[in-house]
Chains A and B, each alone.
Chain A
Amino acid sequence: MIRMSGKFRSSLIIGGQGIRARKLRTLLSMVSLFLGVLAVIAVQAGGQVAEKAMLADIELQRGIDGTESLYLPQHEKTSQIVQETLQGKKGVSAFGSTQITIGEPNTTPLNPGGSSFDPRYSSFGGSGRYTTVCDASGMCYGKPVDEKQPPKGAAIELRTTTMIGDIRQFRPFRLVSGQWLDFDSAPSMSPQIVLNTAAAEGFKNNKIPAELHVQGGTKNATPRIVGVVDDGQGAYSATAYVRADELQNWAPAEAKPPAAAGAGKGAPANFGRSSGSGGLSSVFLAPGSEGIKQTLKARLAAAGAEVDGMSSQRTNPKKQMESMLNLMKIIFLAMASLVLLIGVAGILNVGLATVGERVEEFALRRAVGTSRMLLTFIVLSETLLTGLLTALAAIGAGVIGFEVAAMMLSGKLPALADMSFPWEAGMAGVIAGLVAGLLGGLIPAIRAARIPISTVMRA
């Protein structure tokens, strides 16, 4: 038990006696306050959930809070320098993109361009095979380029992110099955591949021969799919994630993979020439990686790359979201406060009626030496306790509601699945209850303290 000064403790005890003596009245006060407190709790919890869900989404797409992304210059030495500079460093990851196709060689894949298998989105993508055509009215749409295409075959095209260093420290993909890439081991001769959910869906629903082809490469390999992640792109594209050093085994121009130590000798001449061939195009930096960034720039400049145009950008989704979320929260809180105010009016009403009834009790308490101040505390503590009890009841209801909602919505919002009732919402409920108790009790308390003591003589 917290040690309180005698003044507060005794007024709480006496207030508790008062509450117990008037149970029905307390219950009615609680009923009038309940919805208001519950509304405050719901707004706070809802805001918290919305923020978390939105943040999770944005983080998947653009990186966690504070991630700095740096765009690399196109230079023949770029990839080699990046690879050497990042070797063994923490808090940094470089990546590029390429296309790989798995399945029957020399056919048009089921999803040209690595589009998603979702029919709503499959018309997007298809880079190179689609062109944008605008008609007279100004409407633009994608139209397949009329070029000679090989026949359709059992193949799936994957938009592929190649990485040096783990990208997942910046974009927290959720592991759906299997495992994530192993970045610690020496590069394997058969590249590990992690698919996103859309790609995994494609492989599940179609019989695809296990033959891997890297765009621009000449040799085919056997893919080794180790896991499936939700990368937030599932609706739009079939994506794969591979280690850049492993993919180099099948990279264009029969390039030999660089040694694990990162010696520049064996690096392919045209590696990094274009993003289309697995070259590294961007770097993610965790906050505080200024040193690595400077080293990288210096080395690229020394190699003759155009570093002046290297732009970097820091993502802070929290900040971007906050202003909007805050506005929303304020609007909802204002509405909740209105409901709360009705509850306050209820407490106030009951409280004032009670003071009228308890004139003698209050006069008597003052007569036997209770000070005005303490009497104010006693009356206030009754409504504060009522508010607190209401808050506890409302929090209970809120937790139950939260669990039920989480159970029903977990399919749609995977971010909710592992979320528990936010303690901030509980705090908000307690504060709302106490504030309502204070507002509803203050006037009755002041009135009680003003009752003339000689009332006891005249009664």
Chain B
Amino acid sequence: MNPLIQLTGVTKTLKGQEEPRQILAGVDLTVNPGDSVAILGRSGSGKSTLLSLLGLFDRADGGQYLLNGNDITSLPERKAAVLRSAEFGFVFQRFFLLKHLTAAQNVAMALVNGQGWLPARKRKAKVMAALEKVGIAHLAKNKPTRLSGGEQQRVAIARALVREPKVLLADEPTGALDTETAELVIDVLLAATYSGCGLILVTHDRQHADRMARVLRLTDGRLSRANERVLT
């Protein structure tokens, strides 16, 4: 069976204000279905850059990216949009909910792709199922301004799950939450892996990282196994 994700020697150079800087200098990464991977690293080490390559927001300069065994290293944007919609779910540190939409409408947003929208009834069923999964179906009609931070992030996770993605990419999803709420969010993310979804979690929190099956560290543009957990 093909791994879900297989990166080999992926490089990325970003052109900053000054001279171009190589952020990723040959990243290798394999993720299987149901796998959960934590990525640690200093601020500015390139964790978000790596996620944006994985999520096809951007393309690598070199190396190879296989998704389900298919080479998508230099996929044209039109096809990338289709994959983003069909295969990936994203959760960000800031929740990025649209203020003018209700929780349900925010989730439904992810059901729009290049082809348009699902029919209204199917859409509604999927949205409610996703909200159910994160435990806030009862808040479906609320606008984000009337939700707590944890609730907002759970709406964002429902938005990521509503397409039933094969890969969940989470960039510091707990960064803006208190410890207890953060635990809850990690629970929800991990629950998705039980049904075969791959999870890649970028975090600064070692405890959250340790709940993942594997913990990697990004240093000098490369991924390596993180040190043994520090006992507290």
Residues of A within 8 A of B (CB): 5-11, 13-14, 17-18, 20-22, 360-361, 364-374, 452-454, 456-459
Contact with A along B21-50 (1 / 0, CB 8 A): 000000000000000000000000000110
Contacts of A374 in B (CB 8 A): 112-114, 116
**Residues B92 and A369 in contact, CB atoms below 8 Å apart:** no
**A20/B110 in contact, CB under 8 A:** no
Could you say which residues of chain B place their CB within 8 Å of the CB of A9? 116-117
Contact of B114 among A20, A367, A370 (CB under 8 A): A370
Chain B residue with Cβ nearest A7: B116
- Among residues of B, the one whose C-beta sits closest to the C-beta of A358 is B98
Name the A residues within 8 Å of B85 (CB-CB). 368-370
Question: Which of chain A's residues have a CB closer than 8 A to the CB of B49?
Answer: 454, 457
Assess the B110–A369 pair: CB atoms within 8 A: yes
Q: Which residue of A lies closest to B92 (CB)?
A: A456
Look across to chain A and name the residue whose beta carbon is closest to the beta carbon of B162: A368
Task: Return chain B residues, CB-CB under 8 Å to A457.
Answer: 48-49, 51-52, 57, 92, 171
B114 lies within 8 A of A10 (CB)? no
Q: Are A17 and B51 also in contact (CB < 8 A) when A368-B85, A371-B81, A452-B57 are?
A: no
- Nearest B-chain residue to A364, judged by Cβ: B96
Stretch of B99-107, B185-193, B211-219, B222-230 lying at the A interface: B99-107
| Bound form: Cα–Cα A346–B92 in Å | 35
Measured in the bound complex, the distance between the Cα atoms of B117 and A369 in whole Å is 12
Contact check: which of B52, B81, B101 meets A369 at CB < 8 Å?
A: B81
Q: Is the CB of B90 within 8 A of A6?
A: no
CB atoms of B57 and A367 under 8 A apart: yes
Main secondary structure of the interface of B (DSSP, over half): mixed
Q: How far is the CA of A231 from the CA of B109 in the complex (A)?
A: 67
Q: How far is the CB of B199 from chain A (nearest CB, A)?
A: 17
Question: Taking CB as reference atom, which chain A residue is nearest B202?
Answer: A457
A-B contacts, 15 of them at CB < 8 A, read: A5-B116, A6-B116, A14-B112, A364-B98, A365-B112, A366-B84, A368-B112, A369-B113, A370-B112, A370-B113, A371-B78, A372-B78, A374-B114, A457-B51, A459-B94
B110, A368: Cβ atoms closer than 8 Å: yes
Nearest CB of chain B from residue A23's CB, rounded to whole Å: 10
Are A373 and B114 in touch, CB under 8 angstroms? yes
Task: Chain B residues near A14: list those with CB within 8 A.
Answer: 112
B82 within 8 A of A: yes
**Is B148 an interface position by the 8 A CB rule?**
no
B61 at the interface (CB under 8 A from A): no
- Contact present for A10 and B117 (CB under 8 Å): yes
Q: Closest CB of chain A to B65's CB: distance in Å?
A: 16
Q: Nearest CB to that of B81 among chain A residues? A: A371
Cβ contacts under 8 Å, A372 to chain B: 77-78, 81
With a cutoff of 8 Å between Cβ atoms, the chain B residues found around residue A22 in the complex are 100
Q: Of the candidates B96, B99, B159, which one forms a contact with A456 in the assembled complex, judged by CB atoms under 8 Å apart?
A: B96
Residues in chain B near residue A17, CB distance under 8 A: 100-101, 105
By beta carbon, the residue of chain B nearest A20 is: B100
Is B17 among interface residues, defined by CB-CB distance under 8 A? no
Query: How long is the Cα–Cα vector from A379 to B92 in the complex, in angstroms?
Result: 24
CB B40 to nearest CB in A, in angstroms, measures: 17
Per the bound structure, the CA–CA distance linking A112 and B159 in Å amounts to: 93
Residues of B within 8 A of A454 (CB): 48-49, 52, 57-58
In the complex, the answer to whether A368 meets B159 with C-beta atoms within 8 Å is yes
B173 located at the interface, meaning its Cβ lies under 8 Å from any Cβ of chain A in the complex: no
Whether A368 and B57, one on each chain, are in contact in the complex, defined by CB atoms closer than 8 angstroms, is no
* Top 4 A-B pairs, shortest CB-CB distance: A369-B85, A6-B116, A21-B100, A371-B114
Q: Which residues of A contact B99 (CB under 8 A)?
A: 21
Interface assignment of B67: CB less than 8 Å from any CB of chain A: no
B130 smallest CB distance to A (angstroms): 13
New A-B contacts (11) at CB < 8 Å, excluding given A369-B81, A369-B85, A374-B116 = A6-B117, A7-B114, A7-B115, A9-B116, A21-B98, A452-B57, A453-B57, A456-B92, A457-B48, A457-B52, A457-B57
B101 neighbours in A (Cβ, 8 Å): 17, 21
B80 CB to nearest A CB, Å: 9
- Known A-B contacts A370-B81, A371-B78; the reply to A453 vs B116 at CB < 8 A is no
CB distance from B228 to the nearest CB of A (A): 29
Does any Cβ of A come within 8 Å of B177's Cβ?
A: no
Q: Are A365 and B109 in contact (CB under 8 A)?
A: yes
Cβ of B221 under 8 Å from chain A: no
Q: Closest A-chain residue to B88, C-beta based?
A: A369
B137 part of interface (Cβ distance < 8 Å): no
The yes or no answer to B128 lying at the interface (CB within 8 A) is: no
Shortest distance between the CB of B120 and any CB in chain A (Å): 10
B:167-200 near A, CB below 8 Å: 171
Chain A: CB-nearest residue to B98: A361
Q: How far is the CA of A373 from the CA of B115 in the complex (A)?
A: 10
User: Min CB distance, A94 to chain B, in Å?
Assistant: 67
A17 to B: closest C-beta gap in Å:
6
Q: In the bound complex, do residue A453 and residue B100 qualify as a contact, i.e. CB atoms below 8 Å apart?
A: no
Report the minimal beta-carbon distance from B103 to chain A, rounded to whole angstroms: 14
Q: Return chain B residues, CB-CB under 8 Å to A361.
A: 98
A367 CA / B55 CA spacing, docked (Å): 8
Q: How far is the CB of B157 from chain A (nearest CB, A)?
A: 13
Q: Are A10 and B100 in contact (CB under 8 A)?
A: no
Q: Does B129 contact A (CB under 8 A)?
A: no
Cβ-closest chain B residue relative to A378: B112
Q: Point out the residues of chain B lying under 8 angstroms from A459, CB to CB.
A: 92, 94, 96
Known: A17-B105, A367-B84, A369-B112. A453 touches B78 (CB 8 A): no
- Complexed CA–CA distance, A6 and B119 (Å): 9
Instruction: With both chains docked as a complex, state the minimum distance between the C-beta of B96 and any C-beta of chain A, in angstroms.
Output: 5
Chain B nearest CB from A365 CB (Å) reads: 7
Residues in chain B near residue A18, CB distance under 8 A: 100
Q: Within 8 Å CB of B140, what residues of A? A: none
